[in-house]
């Protein structure tokens, strides 16, 4: 299984083969390509807090949701991301807010409600989508280095087990486009945090560089977090595309700072 790139009505996005093969779910990892925003948000900006024209962001969501498939008009739930590890469950009692309303703080979402689209944002941070085709539930998580050190991917899988009775062996995981070890160079606080979280198992994902810096493989560490939560290695797919290496296709926070739009990872139980 591997990632596939799609272009539907000009919208370029990626999907994971394992989630597609399992059936019963729609999902997408967006790129910059196929929207209507201009300037530094060109063109498929899905970030609602980045200063872009709200009407353009709405049109961009309409486009990516139509391209993704599923119910493109159903409820959309996002979060106010804070680089933590809190996972918010979306239930029948969850208020469905407007696209530009401020959502509660969390870095992950889970639901077992068909037709509800969960969305998280990223621009270098690692987007993680989870799906259990047996217990019929989904999760989306945003993992920057702090979220990775807090094992947010594992927290999301564990929340699916706790709330919906998922067995870890049934969970399918897709780790989408994000900054790769080619570009994620850090000081020692990052590898130290990973060693504190994962112990010696983190070592293969932390490469020391001359001069005291490190290269850190955040996607590999998120896959490790999922395996430690019991998700089978064969059910974890990792997109090799690095958001910093491909500036025409992705926004990179490392490259651009706050002068940028955001990609999103979306998932909906059908």
- Give the interface segment with Zn ion, choosing from 31-39, 58-66, 179-187, 224-232 (CB under 5 A): 179-187
CA dihedral sign, ordered 103, 129, 232, 137:
positive
Q: Does 183 bind Zn ion (CB under 5 A)?
A: yes
Task: Indicate the angle between helix axes 189-198 and 218-228, nearest 10 degrees.
Answer: 10
CB of 244 to Zn ion, least distance (A): 5
Q: What are phi and psi of 110, to 5 degrees?
A: -135, 150
Q: Does 246 bind Zn ion (CB under 5 A)?
A: no
Check residue 214 and give left, alpha or beta (phi > 0: left; psi -120 to 50: alpha): beta
Which two structure tokens, joined as six digits, stand for 4? 């596939």
* Minimum CB distance to Zn ion smaller for 19 or for 242: 242
In DSSP terms, 90 is beta-bridged to: 111
Q: How many residues form the binding site for Zn ion (CB under 5 A)?
A: 6
Restricting to residues 15-74, name those near Zn ion by CB under 5 A: none
Which two structure tokens, joined as six digits, stand for 181? 């070890």
Q: What are phi and psi of 206, to 5 degrees?
A: -125, 110
Binding Zn ion (rule: CB under 5 A), the pick from 109, 152, 242, 264 is 242
Binding Zn ion (rule: CB under 5 A), the pick from 42, 66, 245, 256 is 245
* Minimum CB distance to Zn ion smaller for 115 or for 247: 247
Q: Does 126 bind Zn ion (CB under 5 A)?
A: no
Report yes or no: 119 and 96 within 8 Å, Cβ to Cβ.
no
CB of 178 to Zn ion, least distance (A): 10
Separation of alpha carbons 174 and 267, rounded Å:
11
- Give the interface segment with Zn ion, choosing from 127-135, 182-190, 191-199, 210-218 (CB under 5 A): 182-190
- Give the interface segment with Zn ion, choosing from 91-99, 114-122, 175-183, 218-226 (CB under 5 A): 175-183
Q: Does 180 bind Zn ion (CB under 5 A)?
A: yes
Q: What are phi and psi of 60, to 5 degrees?
A: -65, -40
- Give the interface segment with Zn ion, choosing from 53-61, 118-126, 206-214, 240-248 (CB under 5 A): 240-248
* Minimum CB distance to Zn ion smaller for 14 or for 88: 14
Binding Zn ion (rule: CB under 5 A), the pick from 125, 149, 171, 244 is 244
Select the residue whose beta carbon is closest to Zn ion and give its number: 242
Report yes or no: 85 and 150 within 8 Å, Cβ to Cβ.
yes
Report yes or no: 112 and 134 within 8 Å, Cβ to Cβ.
no
Asked, as a colleague might, if the bond just before 67 is cis with ω within 30 of 0, I would say no
- Give the interface segment with Zn ion, choosing from 45-53, 80-88, 165-173, 178-186 (CB under 5 A): 178-186
Separation of alpha carbons 247 and 48, rounded Å:
21
By CB under 5 A, name the binding residues for Zn ion. Answer: 180, 182-183, 242, 244-245
């Amino acid at each position: 299984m591997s990632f596939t790139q799609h272009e539907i009505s000009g919208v370029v996005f990626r999907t994971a083969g394992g989630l597609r093969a399992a059936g019963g779910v729609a999902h997408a990892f967006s790129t910059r390509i196929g929207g209507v925003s201009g300037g530094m948000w060109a063109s498929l900006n899905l970030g609602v807090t980045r200063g872009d024209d709200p009407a353009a962001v709405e049109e961009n969501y309409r486009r990516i949701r139509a391209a993704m498939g599923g119910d493109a008009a159903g409820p959309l739930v996002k979060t106010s991301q804070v680089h933590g590890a809190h996972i918010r469950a979306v239930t029948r009692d969850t208020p469905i807010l407007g696209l530009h309303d401020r959502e509660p703080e969390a870095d992950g979402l889970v639901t077992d409600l068909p037709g509800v689209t969960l969305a998280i944002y990223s621009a270098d941070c690692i987007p993680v989508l989870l799906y259990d085709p047996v217990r019929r539930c989904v999760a989306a998580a945003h993992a920057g280095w702090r979220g990775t050190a807090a094992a947010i991917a594992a927290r999301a899988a564990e929340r699916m087990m706790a709330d919906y009775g998922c067995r870890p062996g049934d969970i399918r995981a897709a780790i989408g486009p994000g900054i790769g070890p080619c570009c994620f160079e850090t000081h020692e606080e990052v590898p130290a945090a990973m060693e504190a979280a994962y112990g010696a198992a983190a070592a293969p994902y932390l490469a020391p560089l001359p001069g005291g810096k490190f290269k850190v493989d955040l996607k590999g560490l998120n896959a490790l977090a999922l395996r430690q939560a019991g998700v089978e290695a064969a059910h974890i797919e990792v997109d090799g595309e690095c958001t910093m290496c491909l500036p025409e296709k992705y926004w990179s926070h490392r490259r651009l700072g706050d002068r940028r739009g955001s990609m999103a990872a979306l998932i909906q139980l059908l």
